[in-house]
Amino acid sequence: MLRAEIQRLLPVRLSHRLRLIQWALPAAIALVAVVYQFGPARLVHDRFGDWSHYSLEVLFYATAGPASIWLTLRVVRTWVEQKEGAEEEVRRLNEVLQLRVEQRTAELRQKADDLAAANARLQELDHLKSEFVSLVSHELRAPLTNVQGALELIEGECPALVPACGRMVGIIKEQLGRLHRLVEGVLDISRIEAGRLQLDLRPLDVGAIVERVLEDFTPRSPLRRLRYARPAAGPVVRADDDRLYEIIGNLVDNAVKYSPPDSEIAVSVEAAGDNAVVSVRDRGPGIPSAEVDRIFEKFHRIDDGDARETYGHGLGLYLSRRLVEAMGGRIWVETQPGSGATFRFSLPLARAPGSQVSDAGPYPGD
């Protein structure tokens, strides 16, 4: 109904008008010629000309002129019909295309809605997972602390323990310490991802913290040589004491796990522009190039060497990256397969109130 009304309101197609003109114009010309010849022209010819000349004019005006006009209009009409046919095909194709676009748009809109719903569900599940992990970690931390305290009491108040029992207590303490660090790491990640991590930022001497870390690791890593040449005036950064200790400890622990026995692990601290850069270099197998971009992802591990030596859960480097970024720095790795790896991170230097910070350019390794 609506389509018929629209067609009625549209102007008549040009080809239809030309078809009408093609027949009406020659007929009108022929009619004028006949009327003229049988009217005034015949009177003139009757007086001044003969009948044969009069008949030739009638034949010429009544046939040749209309025929030439008819043929011309026929050619023009053919061209116009071809043009209008092409326009009609284009219009039809546009309608088909518009219909397909609308169908495809509806499908994409539906898929986008489905993806949004699935993403919302995944976010909800991830939130529930984080809450569950945080709850379990909190519940584990208390008994671990109690067990560790009981072992320390056994060591302190039972000097008569036989050597075998003493070694067993030492193994239990080591494993409890490892489990305790894992629980603390999971709790830290939960706080970071939930946006609840609190940092006590203040000026810190990086060299002093490095020395503390190496003092704690030296008894636990007798088969590795830990080396650190502290500069006379070490850089001072604005960071959280416990978190900075944790970052350096994770990097040293990672180097210890992947370094061969009796190899050297070198730690260095230097100023680079407006930042302090801490480097931990090992002599391990290095990192394959395909793994470099993923080494700081959560739960990502490179399974190399003895499983007992490389015990871990793939959280240390991920946690270090998040802590470094939370304190305004960045972390990266430089490695050659078979030649060890050097992990570096940078933190902004501590500034006096009101001092200006200049652009020092890219960090090493950019």
Query: For the segment 199-224, what is each residue's pLDDT rounded down to a tens digit?
Result: 899 999 999 999 999 998 888 777 78
Express each pLDDT in 236-280 by its tens digit: 999 999 999 999 999 998 888 888 888 889 999 999 889 999 999
The CB-side HSE value for 47 (13 A sphere, CA atoms) comes to 4
CATH number at residue 207: 3.30.565.10
**Same-domain check for residues 237 and 101:** no
- Whether 152 is covered by a domain: the verdict is no
Decide: helix, strand or coil at residue 10: coil
pLDDT for the residue 13 = 60
Domain boundary among 106, 141, 163: 106
On whether the CB atoms of residues 247 and 345 are closer than 8 A, the answer is yes
Q: Is the pLDDT of residue 361 over 70?
A: no
pLDDT for the residue 58 = 60
Beta strand pairing status for 236-240 and 330-335? unpaired
On whether the CB atoms of residues 213 and 245 are closer than 8 A, the answer is yes
Phi, psi (deg, nearest 5) at residue 90: -65, -45
Q: Is the pLDDT of residue 327 over 80?
A: yes
Entry pTM: 0.56
- Whether 119 is covered by a domain: the verdict is no
Least-confidence region, from 4-18, 74-88, 228-242: 4-18
Written as six digits, the tokens of 125 are 């599940």
Neighbours of 73 (CB within 10 A): 19
Cα gap 155→51, rounded to integer Å: 151
On whether the CB atoms of residues 227 and 218 are closer than 8 A, the answer is no
Neighbours of 25 (CB within 10 A): 15
**Same-domain check for residues 99 and 228:** no
Which letter, b or e, does each residue of 296-332 get, where b requires 16 or more Cβ atoms within 10 Å of its Cβ?
beeeebbebeeeeeeebeebbbbbbbbbbeebebebb
- Whether 80 is covered by a domain: the verdict is yes
**Same-domain check for residues 212 and 326:** yes
- Can you tell me the mean pLDDT for 118-135? 74
- Whether 257 is covered by a domain: the verdict is yes
The dihedral sign for the CA sequence 287, 337, 277, 263: positive
pLDDT for the residue 139 = 65
Q: Is the pLDDT of residue 68 over 80?
A: no
N-terminal to C-terminal alpha carbon distance within the chain: 70
Residues 6+ apart with CB under 8 A from 244: 204, 206, 209, 237, 327, 347
Q: Is the pLDDT of residue 322 over 50?
A: yes
**Same-domain check for residues 99 and 206:** no
Cα gap 257→310, rounded to integer Å: 5
pLDDT for the residue 332 = 95
- Contacts of the segment 357-365: beta carbons below 8 A, 24+ positions apart: 357/274, 358/273, 358/274, 359/274, 360/272, 360/273, 360/274, 360/275, 361/273, 363/272, 363/275, 363/277, 363/330, 363/332, 364/272, 364/277, 365/332, 365/334
The proportion of the chain whose per-residue pLDDT surpasses 70, expressed as a percent, equals: 69
- Whether 182 is covered by a domain: the verdict is no
pLDDT for the residue 269 = 93
**For residues 364 and 142, which has the higher predicted lDDT (pLDDT)?**
142
Cα gap 343→333, rounded to integer Å: 4
C-alpha distances (whole Å) from 104 to each of 92, 113, 114 are 18, 14, 15
Indicate the angle between helix axes 163-193 and 316-326, nearest 10 degrees: 50
**Same-domain check for residues 225 and 99:** no
Domain containing residue 252: 202-301+313-348
Query: Confidence class of residue 334 from pLDDT cuts 50, 70 and 90?
Result: very high
On whether the CB atoms of residues 322 and 189 are closer than 8 A, the answer is yes
- Whether 157 is covered by a domain: the verdict is no
Domain count, the chain: 2
pLDDT for the residue 311 = 57
Query: Confidence class of residue 307 from pLDDT cuts 50, 70 and 90?
Result: very low
On whether the CB atoms of residues 209 and 248 are closer than 8 A, the answer is yes
- Whether 364 is covered by a domain: the verdict is no
Decide: helix, strand or coil at residue 281: strand
Written as six digits, the tokens of 207 are 């060299």
**For residues 129 and 9, which has the higher predicted lDDT (pLDDT)?**
129
For the chain, the average pLDDT equals 76
- Whether 134 is covered by a domain: the verdict is no
**Same-domain check for residues 224 and 93:** no
At 175, which amino acid appears? Answer: Q
Query: Confidence class of residue 197 from pLDDT cuts 50, 70 and 90?
Result: confident
pLDDT for the residue 135 = 63
Decide: helix, strand or coil at residue 195: coil
**For residues 304 and 248, which has the higher predicted lDDT (pLDDT)?**
248
Q: Is the pLDDT of residue 343 over 90?
A: yes
Express each pLDDT in 152-181 by its tens digit: 777 666 665 666 676 777 777 777 777 777
**Same-domain check for residues 87 and 216:** no
Query: Confidence class of residue 362 from pLDDT cuts 50, 70 and 90?
Result: very low
**Same-domain check for residues 102 and 209:** no
Cα gap 82→18, rounded to integer Å: 13
Written as six digits, the tokens of 227 are 């080396």
**Same-domain check for residues 233 and 338:** yes
Query: Confidence class of residue 5 from pLDDT cuts 50, 70 and 90?
Result: very low
**Same-domain check for residues 101 and 206:** no
On whether the CB atoms of residues 199 and 243 are closer than 8 A, the answer is yes
Domain boundary among 106, 141, 158: 106
Q: Which of 84, 95, 322 is nearest to 188 (CA)?
A: 322
